[in-house]
Amino acid sequence: MKDAMTYEAELVEPLLKVFKENNISGKLEKSYGSDIAYCDFIFETENGYKIYIECKSRVNKHMITKSFDFAQKIAKEGDYFVFAAKYIPGHLFFPSHASNIFVFSTQGVSFVKIPGLTYRVEEKLRRKKRAQIPTSGTIFTLRSSRLARAFLNDPSKKWKRMQLADEVSLNRGYASTRIRQMLKEHYIREENKELILTDPDRLLDNWNSVYRFDRYKERVLFAFSMKDFKDGMRKLAARFDSMKIGYAYTGWSGAALRAPYMEPPFIMVYTERMPEKIPGLYPVEKDGNVQIFVPSDIGVFQFTKNIEKMKVVSDAQLYLDLIKMPGRAFDQAEYLRCQLMNWSEYAG
């Protein structure tokens, strides 16, 4: 977990810079060790009011709900409360002029309104293209990433080494080597011969930094007649089942079942093998409304969920696939993460 010094450098100093640029001065104090809950820093202005700052590696709906009562209490007393994080997505943008509760981020949305300052950022530039970082030498190669997927499937679960290797279908010797690497890099720790995840957000963020959605064996576009999006997904799922083809929805279609945020443009699904022929499904070279992928590793089929009698990849896998896709899939990915991956209480 990040310490107060890290948060001060990454989040609080940029916020104080905004204050300084608007001639707002005061004194910053760390609040940990006191009886003040849900607050990392207190900035007392020269005008006599206080700004309580809660810093998180990420902000999600669960965190906001958990600390909102405290924030409202602060606001009623005439002071201000600011949720600060590196990234805050637009769907969690909740300015409240009446309650004095605000948000600040260095890469997402911000709204802070105090005497002498109204600071608002509704949208910042999206992801810059970065050179692809290789997975070799990391714990995120195709096979070894099965371990990360297992830990992220239930961050509170404690694993025995052999149990974990067997669960993700890895040779025990190979799994042991990768587990040692995860221990060395502090992704996990070991207590009483049980493996415990230390920081799920860090694990997922580091996996995302090297993940490549284009590492599949085969991809084919199809045209498919359907009444609506869910109708098409149900029809396809039934046909995969009848043909005994393992499948799991991902991308837009997985999000439609797990955490819908916007209209999905097409169906996306992993299958164990490319079907030779499915009634009503016609291969096309472009503009298809169904995309079928044969993955390079069976790990994508592990820890799937059954939603509305259809299989969906694990939430971590769904997030990784979405965030690497173009367009507004990035917003859908962040919405999914904020809604379903509320991991603040799981950190070891």
Q: Which pLDDT score is estimated for 191?
A: 95
pLDDT digits (tens, 9 = 90+) for 223-255: 999 999 999 999 999 999 999 999 999 999 999
Give the pLDDT confidence score for residue 136 in this predicted structure.
Answer: 75
pTM here?
0.74
Could you tell me which residues come within 8 angstroms of residue 325 by beta carbon, excluding any fewer than 6 positions away? 213, 251
Question: Where along the chain do its domains lie?
Answer: 4-121, 145-210, 216-340
- Sorted by sequence, the CB contacts under 8 Å of residue 210 that are 6+ apart come out as 132, 133, 134, 135, 138, 140
CATH, domain range 4-121: 3.40.1350
Q: 216-340 belongs to which CATH class? A: alpha beta
Reply yes or no on domain 145-210 having CATH 1.10.3720.10.
no
What is the enclosing helix (H) or strand (E) of 152? helix 145-153
Per-residue pLDDT reduced to its tens digit, 174-208: 999 999 999 999 999 999 999 999 989 889 999 99
10-residue block means of pLDDT along the chain (348 residues)? 68 93 91 62 92 81 71 81 83 60 84 88 57 76 96 96 97 96 96 94 92 92 93 95 96 96 94 90 92 96 97 98 90 88 66
How would you write 210-255 as a 3-class SS string? HCCCCCEEEEEEEEECCCCHHHHHHHHHHHHHHCCCCEEECHHHHH
